[in-house]
Structure 1
């Protein structure tokens, strides 16, 4: 019998942890909340906190090492998304946007262009401003729909393997 789907959460900047816990419970999925700081997690056999060192990219490294075809990774980090995809994982941004083989290359290229632009500018997009757009109610709703869809898909795929 195969293991349940596991959701690996890049938790340090994740605004949808509570939603993940609720949906995972309904689907019987395991959750690993990975960060370099301590977060409160629900008391559950299925939800575990993984606190890594504060070394650069330690949480990303842990997630990438544990990503597999039976995992769903939730992250806003494009480079981590790429690593997880290469390990066969399903990857969602906290806005519900799926990362896949078709979209990750352009996302990485856009990230690099924006970094170059910010490095050469003063003002709101330069060194002191910018950042992601504010997280909205629509983003939360889109994430919940995407999480539900992907957990159903992964569960069916595992059932088909049995």
Structure 2
């Protein structure tokens, strides 16, 4: 097994991406833990685990940050969680394939706060479109590239 793990913020993970993650785990012999405040319906195995946390705001996020280590990879669309992961020395990937960096996560946090302000003022901002097959391919490619990069980084 690889010396880093993959953590999945599974509360809002599109089901379409679960198979991509499990195939990556098989291909790279990578331990994966799905964390959510509900049962995510993942069958545990040698490398695949799931943790169900108490319901409540950010409980899954807190569990991931508490357990993750430097060089671990976290899949999330939660911007504050991505910022914490980066701060702790991990890598965060959005389910649409974008790899968060310290630069783009700050910009995303500002945009998120602005959108919250608009919603608080009653403006209907809508949500993101559903994950498409193209998004799935982008995510799969980004996940593979990130795993390869982390493998090279920890083997040096």
TM range (shorter): over 0.9
CA distance in 2, matches of 1:3, 1:137: 28
Asked if the contact 2:2/2:29 (under 8 Å) is kept, the reply is no
Q: Which residue of 2 aligns with 1:116?
A: 117
Distance 1:140 1:3, change over 3 A: closer
Q: Which residue of 2 aligns with 1:8?
A: 7
Q: Which has the larger radius of gyration?
A: 1
The count of corresponding residues between Structure 1 and Structure 2 is 154
Distance 1:25 1:105, change over 3 A: same
Q: Which residue of 2 aligns with 1:17?
A: 18
In the alignment, does 2:150 pair up with 1:154?
A: yes
Asked if the contact 1:68/1:89 (under 8 Å) is kept, the reply is yes
Runs of 4+ aligned residues of structure 1 deviating over 6 Å after TM superposition are: none
CA distance in 2, matches of 1:41, 1:85: 26
Across the aligned residues of Structure 1 and Structure 2, the Cα RMSD in angstroms comes to 1.5
Q: Which residue of 2 aligns with 1:38?
A: 39
CA distance in 2, matches of 1:118, 1:101: 26
Asked if the contact 2:5/2:32 (under 8 Å) is kept, the reply is yes
For 1:39, what is the secondary structure of its paired residue? coil
Q: Which residue of 2 aligns with 1:79?
A: 80
Deviation at 1:80, TM superposition (A): 0.6
Within 5 A, what are the aligned runs for 1:46-125?
A: 46-122=47-123, 124-125=124-125
Superimposed CA distance per residue, residues 81-111 of structure 1 (whole angstroms, 9 cap, x where no aligned partner): 1111111110000000111111111000000
CA distance in 2, matches of 1:135, 1:80: 20
User: TM-score under structure 1 normalisation?
Assistant: 0.89
Asked if the contact 2:7/2:33 (under 8 Å) is kept, the reply is yes
Deviation at 1:3, TM superposition (A): 5.3
Superimposed CA distance per residue, residues 20-77 of structure 1 (whole angstroms, 9 cap, x where no aligned partner): 0111110011000000111222442001111111132110100111222231000000
